[in-house]
Structure 1
Amino acid sequence: MTIVSTTEARISETGTGGPGEPPAALTAREPHVPAEQLVAEMVPPPRFDGVRFDTYIPDPAQPSQSEAVQVLSAFAGGLGGARGGDGRRRWFRREPKRTAAPGGPRGVYLDGGYGVGKTHLLASLWHAAPATPDRKAFGTFVELTNLVGALGFQQTVRTLSGHQLLCIDEFELDDPGDTVLISSLLAKLVESGVALAATSNTLPGKLGEGRFAAADFLREIQGLSAHFRTLRIDGEDYRHRGLPKAPEPYGDEEVERVAHRVPGASLDGFPALLRHLSRVHPSRYGALVEGVEAVCLTGVSPVPDQATALRLVVLADRLYDREVPVVASGVPFDALFSQEMLEGGYRKKYFRAISRLTALARDGREMTAS
């Protein structure tokens, strides 16, 4: 993957954390991702490159997990299209004005808590779909809204309407503008015959609840939920199932030692990183951490406000997607968000971030051993 950046050439000259070099700083990076690259990169992230339905391990105590595998496998099998008169299979036969698949909605919606394997299943569906990679798309809800912002609504419709499948991870509506935008976009794509699949911690009819006056946009929200058949996936967070407690934060000196010892590591003060995130669009956070082998943070402290917290959630998602270990000093990750935040409308995002950062901190523990 090629990332165009105004500063990364300079970073490579001044040190990237290689052997004998000082660690790089994420705050020194100002990545730029061209709009056309946003489309090309709508594929499952590196963590989910190799996942398939048969690598998903259902919890025997949660039959909904095995059921989800069966339903999604059948859904993927139904995406093969029809054969034309010449006997050749028409994978991308267009079906104008079709708003539902035979016998039900034109999409599946995976609802469940953190760590039950929803993204694993969504990526498995993407891999199982018979289309070539340029005719199926996978991205987070934030990445989809960013794509519309970069290309414009009509161009996004034209770009995605030729696809067989659109997979949307972490589907959550945070403001009325997104509600109207995505409702309109998905309606257009369904009319073009695009199949939809999404994951979220919120049932389709509850999207936006607690974050804005969802009742004022009930028509759009109901329109969104009409596109999907909901599959509830129960279970515990697999990232912590039967595993020891996440490591306690380290001292600043230990974090700095790891950053200087591990090739490709970055080293940043947590407050400075939060300020930098406010100057980088969230659509570029993946590029921000591209090529980084470990993220080392000193002085981790509770985030000061909700806007900062939501930016941190996106960064945590991009680090988790790329399997980047985290080594940190300061407060534990479960103390990042205030009780008010954890009880508010974005609570599910914050709990997801805590879960993922805890898993990455566990991965980073091995780096402190020597």
Structure 2
Amino acid sequence: MLAGADRVTTRYRALVDAGEIGADPGQFGLAGKLDQLNEKLGERRLAAKGSALGRFFAARAAVPVKGLYIHGAVGRGKTLLMDQFFAVAAPRRRRRAHFHEFMAEVHERIHALRAAARNGAARNGAKSVDPIAPVAAAIARETRLLCLDELAVEDIADAMILSRLFGKLFEAGLVLVATSNTAPDALYHDGLNRSLFLPFVAVLKRHVDVVELDGPADYRLEKPGRAPVYVTPLGRVATAALDRIFLDLTGIARGRPEALPAGGRREIRVPQAAKGVARFAFADLCEAPLGASDYGRIARAFHTVVIDDIPVLADDRRNAARRLINLVDTFYD
């Protein structure tokens, strides 16, 4: 049995009691399903031990554990509940990632293996090998529970490898919990060569229970009311207002610089950061060569981002305007 503090339902009730969220029957039902999954994961972990207790749970753990695929409209609390589950999940080797971040890493690993195989083939004349199996094996060694947020298949490069990749991951015993705005059967709808993608849907549905989380409200639109979303016009008054907001959120007047890894040797410079809050100038984010993946890294690292000095975006700043739109879309997701 899970201890009270390790139950998603307990954590959910605490959020409701604290007034941070409103009670929602659909969310509470999903919290219960996540608790049931965690019970099974805990039994499997105990079964792996050589103790008498492990032998007791071994027979029950022999049955493969099915994960969860949580879908529904935006703002229904899918990510909130998955994150509550991840915080208390039984497996020590667990990982939480945005789907696109995870797939970017998969492609990097595939590229590295192919490059190594080409170099080896050039030296000894050996044939190149399919890198999917070794990449999946490496991920499965590192991760027993994979929580993926915002699963959305838009790239044909992703679509063509998902069936083989996740087939191997599931064979190795990996358990998947994913959130998505889209039901499994509607993934990659009207995508190029979709018939080659459909085996992934079949593999997915064999290894997860599909749960729809729906409700009447987009909870992201419920403003906390303690601070304005934007301050205008630019000037000393606006800067002072943002200074106060940063102080209220962090308890300090000025944060410390940080650097977020951005793949390879790249880093994203954060001028000020403290207690999950980042502060940037507009130029740092929208006049620098940053893209959606970079904005996603920022959003995952910080719960609040304060941006100074957003100008009027005339025609001569079209690139900056596009980046701002991209940033807002990514943060909203």
Same fold flag (TM > 0.5): yes
1:126-205 → structure 2 map (5 Å cutoff)? 126-132=86-92, 135-152=93-110, 153-162=132-141, 163-205=143-185
1:72 and 2:34 aligned: yes
Task: Give the aligned partner of residue 87 of structure 1.
Answer: 52
Whole-angstrom CA distance in 2 between matches of 1:221 and 1:141: 16
Between the aligned residues of both structures, percent identity stands at: 21
Cα pair distance change 1:186/1:131, threshold 3 Å:
same
- The one-letter amino acid of 2:330's match is A
Q: Which moved more, 1:294-303 or 1:170-179?
A: 294-303
Superposition TM-score, scaled by structure 1 size = 0.57
Cα pair distance change 1:159/1:233, threshold 3 Å:
same
1:117 and 2:77 aligned: yes
Task: Give the aligned partner of residue 312 of structure 1.
Answer: 292
2:198 to 218, 235, 238: 218
Task: Give the aligned partner of residue 54 of structure 1.
Answer: 10
Following superposition, the deviation at residue 69 of structure 1 comes to: 0.4
Q: Secondary structure at the match of 2:52?
A: coil
| Unmatched runs of 5 consecutive residues or more in structure 2 | 1-5, 111-131, 248-252, 314-321
- 8 A contact 2:133–2:168 mirrored in 1: no
Cα pair distance change 1:302/1:136, threshold 3 Å:
closer
Following superposition, the deviation at residue 76 of structure 1 comes to: 0.7
Q: Secondary structure at the match of 1:230?
A: strand
Task: Give the aligned partner of residue 263 of structure 1.
Answer: 254
- The one-letter amino acid of 2:83's match is A
2:280 to 288, 296, 306: 296
Greater RCO, 1 or 2 (C-alpha within 8 Å, sep 6+): 1
Following superposition, the deviation at residue 207 of structure 1 comes to: 1.4
Task: Give the aligned partner of residue 125 of structure 2.
Answer: none
Whole-angstrom CA distance in 2 between matches of 1:284 and 1:178: 20
Following superposition, the deviation at residue 145 of structure 1 comes to: 1.4
Following superposition, the deviation at residue 113 of structure 1 comes to: 2.6
Aligned-residue CA RMSD in angstroms? 4.6
Cα pair distance change 1:253/1:183, threshold 3 Å:
farther
- The one-letter amino acid of 2:79's match is T
> How far does the alpha carbon of each residue in 1:90-124 deviate from its partner, in whole angstroms, 9 at most, with x for none?
7998x9xx9954xxxx2201112333222222222
Superposition TM-score, scaled by structure 2 size = 0.62
Following superposition, the deviation at residue 73 of structure 1 comes to: 0.4
1:28-43 → structure 2 map (5 Å cutoff)? none
Whole-angstrom CA distance in 1 between matches of 2:175 and 2:161: 18
Following superposition, the deviation at residue 88 of structure 1 comes to: 4.2
Whole-angstrom CA distance in 2 between matches of 1:285 and 1:295: 23
Following superposition, the deviation at residue 228 of structure 1 comes to: 2.0
Task: Give the aligned partner of residue 63 of structure 1.
Answer: 25
Whole-angstrom CA distance in 2 between matches of 1:234 and 1:286: 39
Larger-Rg structure: 2
- 8 A contact 1:107–1:227 mirrored in 2: yes
Whole-angstrom CA distance in 2 between matches of 1:55 and 1:211: 39
Cα pair distance change 1:123/1:247, threshold 3 Å:
closer
- 8 A contact 1:285–1:315 mirrored in 2: no
1:238 and 2:219 aligned: yes
Following superposition, the deviation at residue 141 of structure 1 comes to: 1.0
* Aligned length, in residue pairs: 268
